[in-house]
Structure 1
């Protein structure tokens, strides 16, 4: 188990949970807070599972009020904290600016602010969220190369000066609305090895970078840095190497145009599974091409929050397709198979399947009975749309009945933030907050804004 965890509930009311303190079972480590990363993560999963079980045990599916059996999250803010310490250990030179778009959860934003991180915002609403947790405007970058005029005016009014651009029209807008902005030239990168490609939409090619810098000089605008983004969920660390090399080239062009650039923004693309490998490659490239006085920032999102959130959803309907499966298999052996329907789907918290190319893995929280032979399932969402498919085919070690629950780990990135209200289903779901790191608990519980 974990060290005296806290469960955070809405409205900043903190309830102490009486879980056993087994912190002596952890190995000493310099990775973070004295705990071994792997063991801490496994302990977090165990605690989350117990909280999920405790929560669903209180729900009477047969007699509850409408909405009481809605999907819900358990979020471990301690896992967010561990990811931060992991970042500082492996990318100490690079200051994180959390990508608010990934998961604008209020408790996550509060923790990011307490950790001293900056905020990567893409709209007025996201700027307001960052300012709302007490962040100084100097810790916000408006990292959207194509901005609404009124939003630019608003950014100027509230003191947000750092922002990106990648075209001449944007420079004219900035000159009109926010002439004292601190500008980053967003350059085009090779993002062919990423899950979500951005280069088709954003980024100035190296062939026009010089002309944009000259225009900025002519307009008497202040260009302070270069930014790039290798794509969300990048899979090849070499994409960072090429992007850093290209950034060095643009830094040199900027010097020729009369600018003294001070900052490099390496964007996002970091994920939990490949982080150390990517960090090592990026660090080497930075050390090779940029001296220590150049400030380096990044825009991580999923890296921080993906593994911190677990989602539970209820089985609302089931259809037996065993006969169809047996016929299609052309075999004498019977296949037990079902289509099951959850009260959440791709128009809700599983929007990451559509928008983020994710493949959430179902696990059984409650079931009718265990089985010797795994049962095949396809898992569907609740809406009328045929594309509302969560898992086309999977096997699970239990018989699921209507009213049972499944849970899905790693649901913290691009999930609830892009949920819709299609078919009238709500896009607002309860989040049960816990912390399996005492340092994260202290940062949140003893802050002055509670």
Structure 2
């Protein structure tokens, strides 16, 4: 592959007239004849950037309702996600004209109405199961506020997550410390905070709890088949059923209160039948509890819920509960959904900061190629976020994000006739593992200064981003542009932390 070809951005901004007074494309004839051609073209270009198709503009933007403002946090705006992606690009262009460092910084747009919509979907399909949001998936302050206002519980894995949720005024009874292997100091602190529900899967954990939190309400986490999941948590957690009787006997000996059973089929489970098998194993564990002298009243069916298969999973889970727990009058059932709530709520916009292509390559040369190899990229694009930032989900969560063009040659309009070529997309750091897409199809006219966008960037992304090589974590713009935007804003306003 050739060396990096240093290119000037295809978009330069030098505003000599007030282009922000209209959302209609400028006509050169309306400008002074003495106005330089380059500036006329630039302003016409930016006017096009300002024009947004009517199908993504919500009428509510024209009303006088104010944005949601929480002290210390960015405002929650209104308008469709795509509107704010475009506005972010335009803001970057404006900052560039002011010589602002890192003007083209990558950014998220989060549509909180999607989180609300997912909650309604959950209540419709699994009304009997209380969702305890897995904070680890995305501890975004607005996501937590919205879910707290909606009455969900929270699955916390550390003292930090517990403190973050409790700081919102959430009652400790709505938390479960769902980490089977906790530091003793964390267990002691949870006792002080009044967080009693917690999981265990080994004898040493019982000894720690008996010493520093003897009043805890314990949940034994059993091992399940997670072979069909993206992240196999059973490699680290979960007591095999054969060990459960001895664990419960030790808990009884230590005078600890075990109230139920939990399991986790693995994060990102695409096999709905895994839940049926897990519920069957939980039934066996309940029976073991009775033999040990316990009367379990809690079943935690864990996480693993995927957006595309949610209805199918809900059906399998309900049928399994009906079969193995037909009498549920005194049984509380909770779950730990994470990515289900937030994956599709966040999108990311990233700027093309560099390009590496064959020497003296031209569009004509590419178009003359007789056989375009779709598996071997002919050009490398470098963007300003990567696997050490938002795209850590590639390494840690086995995701394969795919880009689409947000702006091309300064325009948000990307004709369907634009030729595509095999390309690779790389992050900004000096590490060679910083590859976002090893091969993808992108327009052959994509240049430095253009923007790519990625959807489904809400789960296990920003929460694990680092500042390696001095790159900052991408910031979030919030909106409520979905179907239930008004309801979301009302819920947020009514919530007092």
Both proteins in one fold, TM over 0.5: yes
Give the superposition deviation at 1:433.
3.2
Distance 1:13 1:422 in 2: 25
Does the 8 Å contact 2:201/2:221 carry over to 1? yes
Q: Is the partner of 2:418 in helix, strand or coil?
A: strand
Give the superposition deviation at 1:16.
5.9
TM-score (norm. length: structure 2): 0.80
The answer for the alignment partner of 1:440 in structure 2 is: 488
Runs of 5+ consecutive residues of structure 1 not aligned to the other structure: 20-46
Give the superposition deviation at 1:200.
1.1
Does the 8 Å contact 2:347/2:454 carry over to 1? yes
Does the 8 Å contact 2:180/2:237 carry over to 1? yes
Deviations 1:246-288 (A, max 9, x none): 1001101101111010000000000111100001000110111
The answer for the alignment partner of 1:298 in structure 2 is: 335
Distance 2:378 2:407 in 1: 18
The answer for the alignment partner of 1:101 in structure 2 is: 136
Distance 1:323 1:398, change over 3 A: closer
Distance 1:339 1:90 in 2: 44
Q: Is the partner of 1:199 in helix, strand or coil?
A: helix
1:389 to 426, 430, 435: 435
Give the superposition deviation at 1:402.
1.0
Distance 1:227 1:398, change over 3 A: same
Q: Is the partner of 2:198 in helix, strand or coil?
A: strand
Which residues of 2 match residues 87-98 of structure 1 at below 5 A? Answer: 87-98=122-133
1:4 to 60, 81, 98: 60
Alignment of 1:346 with 2:387, yes or no, is yes
Distance 2:312 2:371 in 1: 46
Identify which range, 131-140 or 284-293, moves more after superposition: 284-293
Deviations 1:15-61 (A, max 9, x none): 764x6xxxxxxxxxxxxxxxxxxxxxxxxxxx211211122112234
1:218 to 253, 271, 293: 253
The answer for the alignment partner of 2:87 in structure 1 is: 54
Deviations 1:300-322 (A, max 9, x none): 00000000001111111011148
Deviations 1:414-445 (A, max 9, x none): 00001111111112523333353122111002
Q: Is the partner of 2:103 in helix, strand or coil?
A: coil
Distance 2:59 2:132 in 1: 29
The answer for the alignment partner of 2:402 in structure 1 is: 361
Deviations 1:195-254 (A, max 9, x none): 000111100001110000011001000000100000000011111111100100110110
Does the 8 Å contact 1:341/1:382 carry over to 2? yes
The answer for the alignment partner of 1:44 in structure 2 is: none
The answer for the alignment partner of 1:379 in structure 2 is: 425
Aligned-pair RMSD on alpha carbons?
2.4
Give the superposition deviation at 1:395.
1.0
The structure number with the bigger radius of gyration is 2
Distance 1:318 1:183 in 2: 55
Give the superposition deviation at 1:160.
0.3
Deviations 1:326-347 (A, max 9, x none): 99xxx64578942110000000
Distance 1:13 1:316, change over 3 A: closer
Distance 1:334 1:187, change over 3 A: closer
Does the 8 Å contact 1:7/1:432 carry over to 2? no
Distance 1:435 1:119, change over 3 A: farther
Give the superposition deviation at 1:77.
0.7
Distance 1:267 1:147, change over 3 A: same
Identify which range, 244-253 or 432-441, moves more after superposition: 432-441
Distance 1:147 1:394 in 2: 42
Identify which range, 283-292 or 361-370, moves more after superposition: 361-370
Distance 1:203 1:446, change over 3 A: same
Q: How many residues align?
A: 420
The answer for the alignment partner of 1:400 in structure 2 is: 446
Give the superposition deviation at 1:14.
4.5
Distance 1:99 1:364, change over 3 A: same
Does the 8 Å contact 1:181/1:222 carry over to 2? yes
Give the superposition deviation at 1:4.
2.4
Distance 1:448 1:198, change over 3 A: closer
Structure richer in strand, relative to its length: 1
Which residues of 2 match residues 126-137 of structure 1 at below 5 A? Answer: 126-137=161-172
Distance 1:428 1:73, change over 3 A: closer
Does the 8 Å contact 2:357/2:380 carry over to 1? yes
Runs of 5+ consecutive residues of structure 2 not aligned to the other structure: 1-56
